[in-house]
Amino acid sequence: MNNLNILLNPISKDVFLRFPIVFFFIVSTFIFAVFENHSIYVFEEDIQERVLFYFVVSIPFFTSLYLFTEKRKKSKNYAIFFTIFSIIVLYHIIYSSLDSFVFLFIASIISLMFSAFLSKNSNNNAIFDFNLHGLYSISFAFLSSAILALGILAIVASLDFLFSFSFFKDNLEDIYLFISTVIFPTLILSHIPKEYEIYKESIEIKKALLILIKNILTPLVFIYTLILYAYFIKIVFLYELPKGEMSWIISIYLCLAIFLKIFLSVVMQKNLLLTVLDKNFLITLILPVAFLGLAIYTRIEQYGITEPRYALIVLFLWFISIFVFTIFKRQFCIKTSFASLFTLLLFASLSPFNATNVSTKSQISRFENILLENEMLKDNQLLANKKDLSFDTRVQVSSIVSYFTNTQAKKDFFNNYFDTNFKNQDEVLRYLNVKYASESSKNSEDFYLPIFNLHDIALPTKGYDFVVNLNLAKDKKSIFYEQKSFDIELKDNKIFIDLEENLFEVDLALLLENLKEKKIQEFNKDNYKELLIVQNKKSSEIKLLIKYFSTIKKNKKDMITYIEAVLFVKK
């Protein structure tokens, strides 16, 4: 194939006739992207977002379909199968969590890499050349789109500056959406060749790519291999399990090694290092794959399954499948490698055991077990902690709560499961009376960690002009009342309240020292006055009831980083 000639071919009507349904999804993606940009909702907001995602995913999927059926008898069976498949995908996207569909999107991209060769007798050279050409096409389309976008920006800026003509400037975002959702994919489609030759000899690799692979990637993979094997020897001698964090490091290494093997499978002229890595590919994989499995097990044993850890499991199974297929076929097959990854990603997104379902069940099960062990759950109702929880327990509770509050869908699931109405992570932890902790905060652990049971405390408001609920976290806030405002800030263990001409300063460091001296471990209705602060200045008065605070150890000093309180103000 002459890649340069193909790239320079102009866009013709043939490309629209070749991929008609794909262009329907391209135009639909643009229209719904514009709707999202202008907050125009044809459906409910959440449903419309999912429909837009369906259109985006369908572009590569249906391109793959055309590549698969091209030059074959387009039987009704193909059409019926892919119609049913499309409906299943749409149903899952609309009625399931979107978290799993990162896997579906990646699967749609992977499908482009092998679908044209799925039912053909093809060798590695043909598939490699097709994908290499695809990489050139994407690079060309991206560069062309970027130049077009910059050119339009310059024109619009000139019109606005010279003639005060701002129509295009006001619609610049929509123009960029058109370039990214219509122009960019059209340029890629127009450069997909119609002929996929089956090469019997080694293909010609561009010199720049050869230099990149031979002089940069190969030495990096070799050094990476030596480092990993040195680490494996170390933990074997120390009788340790690999750290959970090692799973991503090993996975990146294995992906690089497979990419290098893809290159080696089509290149005839190899230097000594390339020859050694090529001949010992399977042997090199054995230890990294084994230790990857142990590292994943270690992480899941500690913190359960989440979507990123599910992705690691998918990669682990992919590496195993490559290992098995290579032994079975006695040679490395690019098509089989892509097809197995595609299948695993499809399973991870559309099956009943998809990433979201498995992760959610794993995390909720862990959460219930921890709560039951610490008497914080009864009849499926959450209870406030009354124990001095260990650091590890707080880390686990914090990580699970963080998992269930990082997206709206998970938050809704959590609230429905426990019949609650929490808005964020802080609310959940505060209700459970658990101080946030993470592995990285182990060396800066709180010295003073009392238990707060002040949710049922009420104070009279007589004599005060207004009452404010405060949530402060080292930031300045403006409180509005009667068309006026005043500032309040938590800074350097002090609360500053700038009330018109009076600046109140509450010394929290002094309060902490006093509480620690009294060794108060729990605040309740009997001792809440220890957290009640009253100050007067001229005719103004403030009364501050602190209901919760959290601290960290910094430079051997307790620092309050978050506080909840009720402020009573008399002007």
More confident of the two residues 543 and 12: 543
CA angle 417, 418, 423 (to 5 degrees): 95
Q: What is the pLDDT of residue 1?
A: 46
Residue 204, pLDDT > 80, answer: no
Q: Which string of b and e fits 513-528 if b means at least 16 CB within 10 Å? A: eebeeeeeeebeeeeb
Q: What is the pLDDT of residue 120?
A: 65
Copy the structure tokens of residue 7.
């790239």
Which 3 state secondary structure label does DSSP give 455? coil
Mean pLDDT of 315-330: 89
Residue 498, pLDDT > 50, answer: yes
Strand ranges for 364-491 from DSSP E? 377-378, 381-382, 451-452, 466-472, 476-481, 484-491
**Judging by DSSP bridges, how do beta strands 522-523 and 451-452 pair with one another?**
parallel
Q: What is the pLDDT of residue 260?
A: 85
d(CA 235, CA 473): 42
Among 170-179, 190-199, 483-492, the least confident range: 190-199
Copy the structure tokens of residue 254.
């294995």
Q: What is the pLDDT of residue 185?
A: 93
Q: Which string of b and e fits 64-94 if b means at least 16 CB within 10 Å? A: bbbbbbeeeeeeeeeeeebeeebeebbebbe
Q: What is the pLDDT of residue 207?
A: 65
What would the pLDDT profile of 238-257 be if each residue is shown by its tens digit?
777 667 678 888 899 899 88
Most confident of 74-78, 193-197, 262-266: 262-266
CB atoms within 10 A of CB 392: 12
More confident of the two residues 94 and 551: 551
**Judging by DSSP bridges, how do beta strands 476-481 and 466-472 pair with one another?**
unpaired
The residue type of 151 is: G
Model pTM? 0.73
Q: Which of 477, 503, 479 is nearest to 490 (CA)?
A: 477
Q: Band the pLDDT of 78: cuts 50, 70, 90.
A: low
What would the pLDDT profile of 378-387 be if each residue is shown by its tens digit?
888 888 888 7
Among 2-11, 315-324, 376-385, the least confident range: 2-11
φ, ψ of residue 484 to 5 degrees: the values are: -125, 180
d(CA 149, CA 156): 11
Q: What is the pLDDT of residue 81?
A: 66
Q: What is the pLDDT of residue 269?
A: 67
How far are the Cα atoms of 433, 450, 487, 552, 560 from residue 397, in angstroms, in the given order?
11, 17, 34, 18, 21
CA angle 319, 321, 326 (to 5 degrees): 100
φ, ψ of residue 473 to 5 degrees: the values are: -145, 70
Copy the structure tokens of residue 289.
């794959």
Residue 202, pLDDT > 60, answer: no
Q: What is the pLDDT of residue 236?
A: 80
Q: Band the pLDDT of 179: cuts 50, 70, 90.
A: very high
Is residue 105 packed enough to be buried (19+ CB in 10 Å), middle (13-18) or exposed (0-12)?
middle
d(CA 62, CA 56): 11
CA angle 171, 174, 175 (to 5 degrees): 90
Is residue 218 packed enough to be buried (19+ CB in 10 Å), middle (13-18) or exposed (0-12)?
buried
More confident of the two residues 227 and 266: 227
Residue 167, pLDDT > 80, answer: no
DSSP conformational letter for 516: H
DSSP conformational letter for 562: E
Q: Which of 267, 276, 285, 284 is nearest to 321 (CA)?
A: 285
Copy the structure tokens of residue 109.
């991209």
Q: Band the pLDDT of 82: cuts 50, 70, 90.
A: low
d(CA 87, CA 81): 10
Cα separation of the two ends of the chain: 82
Share of the chain above pLDDT 90, in %: 13
What would the pLDDT profile of 412-467 be if each residue is shown by its tens digit?
889 898 888 888 888 888 888 887 777 766 655 444 567 777 777 888 888 888 88
Instruction: Answer yes or no: are the C-beta atoms of 119 and 72 closer than 8 Å.
Output: yes
Angle between helices 408-418 and 391-404 (to 10 degrees): 110
Q: What is the pLDDT of residue 446?
A: 47
Q: What is the pLDDT of residue 480?
A: 83
Beta bridge partner(s), residue 486: 479
Mean pLDDT of the chain: 82
Among 34-43, 214-223, 550-559, the least confident range: 550-559
Instruction: Answer yes or no: are the C-beta atoms of 544 and 495 closer than 8 Å.
Output: yes
Q: What is the pLDDT of residue 349?
A: 86
The residue type of 379 is: D
DSSP per-residue codes, 414-430:
HHHHHT----SHHHHHH
Instruction: Answer yes or no: are the C-beta atoms of 194 and 20 closer than 8 Å.
Output: no
**Judging by DSSP bridges, how do beta strands 540-554 and 557-570 pair with one another?**
antiparallel
